[in-house]
Structure 1
Amino acid sequence: MSLFGAPIETVYLYVLIIAGLLTVLYIFFGDFLEGIGEIFPFINPVLILAFITFFSAAGYILESTTTLSSLFIIGLSLVISLILDTLLNIFILIPLSTAEESLSYTEESLIGRVGKIIIPIPDEGYGEVVIESKSGMISKPATQYTTKGIHEGTQVLVLEVKNGVLYVEPYEDELEVYESD
Structure 2
Amino acid sequence: MLDVYAGMLVTGVLFALVTVLFGDFLSNALDGIFDWMSGDLHHALQPMVIFSGITVMGGAGWLLTRYSAFGTAVILILAVLTAIGGSILIYLGYVKPMQNTESSVAFSMRDLVGRIGEVSVPVPASGCGEVVYRIGGSLTNQIAESFDGENIPSGVRVVTVDIRDGAVLVSPLDTHSTTRSDVNEL
Question: Is the pair's TM-score, using the shorter chain for normalization, greater than 0.5?
Answer: yes
Deviates more, 1:141-150 or 1:16-25: 16-25
* Counterpart among 8, 11, 17 of residue 14 in structure 2: 17
Equivalent pairs: percent with the same residue? 18
The structure, 1 or 2, with the larger RCO (C-alpha pairs under 8 Å, 6+ apart) is: 2
* Counterpart among 80, 88, 91 of residue 90 in structure 2: 88
Aligned pairs (5 A) from 1:26-37: 27-28=27-28, 29=30, 31-36=32-37
Instruction: With the length of structure 1 as denominator, give the TM-score of the two structures.
Output: 0.58
Once the two structures are superposed, residues 134-176 of structure 1 have per-residue CA deviations (whole angstroms, 9 ceiling, x without a partner) of 3433321112135542111101121221232111121238xxx
Q: Which runs of 5+ in 1 are unaligned?
A: 174-181
The DSSP-based 3-state class of the residue aligned with 1:112 is: coil
Letter in 2 for 1:115: G
1:53: Cα distance to partner? 4.8
Aligned pairs (5 A) from 1:134-173: 134-172=136-174
Do the aligned partners of 1:123 and 1:148 also contact (CA within 8 Å) in 2?
Answer: yes
Q: Which runs of 5+ in 2 are unaligned?
A: 68-74, 176-186
Once the two structures are superposed, residues 75-132 of structure 1 have per-residue CA deviations (whole angstroms, 9 ceiling, x without a partner) of 9x98997676444322332334566875632111211222111222245332211122
The DSSP-based 3-state class of the residue aligned with 1:128 is: strand
Do the aligned partners of 1:55 and 1:80 also contact (CA within 8 Å) in 2?
Answer: yes
* Counterpart among 64, 71, 75 of residue 66 in structure 2: 71
Distance 1:42 1:159 in 2: 39
RMSD across aligned positions (CA): 4.6
Aligned residues: 161
The DSSP-based 3-state class of the residue aligned with 1:172 is: strand
Letter in 1 for 2:45: P
